[in-house]
Amino acid sequence: MSARVPLEGSRSRVSAELTASSDPDQSARIEATILVRRRPESGAPARVDGILRGQAPALSREEAAASLGADPADVERVTAFAAAEGLTIIETKLARRSVRIAGTVPQMEAAFGVRLRLCKAGGREYICYEGTLSIPAELEGIIVAVLGLDQRPVARR
């Protein structure tokens, strides 16, 4: 088994109104999105700054996807990790820098090193996780976030 590292900023924030109620159905299918870093050394940040200052022409959709999107090699490494964990790859989008995955509760727990729980907040029940997400060390800096394992709403009306 390869070494694992915590995913920066992924510790679940438990609020006062949230209570863990039980374990979720172990056969439940969970979907999540893995966000991948921008293509390294694309020069995109400097170009975007120039555009915002009015000193560079706007990017076409194709240019934006190529320079602001994910490196195909990074996405391939992430999909290989997900497949090795038994997760299903639903969709990959280089321009969005995302890999959508699905798997059972035990598969997601094993892939990301957390415990999924059913939690109650505001009279409703949601999937959330305990602990800090972890990823294989070789994907450190490539995976920037995993979204969907904490299904609590993030905005209030």
pLDDT tens per residue, range 93-134:
999 999 999 999 999 999 999 999 998 877 788 898 888 999
* Spatial CA neighbour of 19 closest among 92, 95, 120, 104: 120
Q: Residues of the chain with pLDDT > 90: what percent?
A: 51
What pLDDT shows up at residue 18? 62
> What global pTM score does this model have?
0.84
In three state form, how does the secondary structure of 109-157 look? HHHHCCEEEEEEECCEEEEEEECCCEEEHHHECCEEEEECCCCCCCCCC
Averaged pLDDT of the chain: 86
Of residues 83 and 67, the one with the higher pLDDT is 83
pLDDT tens per residue, range 40-62:
776 666 777 778 888 888 877 77
List the single range of 6-10, 83-87, 136-140 with lowest mean pLDDT. 6-10
The pLDDT of residue 152 is above 90: no
Dist CA 15 CA 51 (whole Å): 40
Domain-wise residue ranges, the chain: 4-39+68-147
User: Stretch 55-84: mean pLDDT, rounded?
Assistant: 87
Residue 43 DSSP code: -
3-class SS at 90?
Answer: strand
Q: Residues of the chain with pLDDT > 70: what percent?
A: 87
**What residue type is 120 in one-letter code?**
K
The pLDDT of residue 137 is above 60: yes
What pLDDT shows up at residue 125? 86
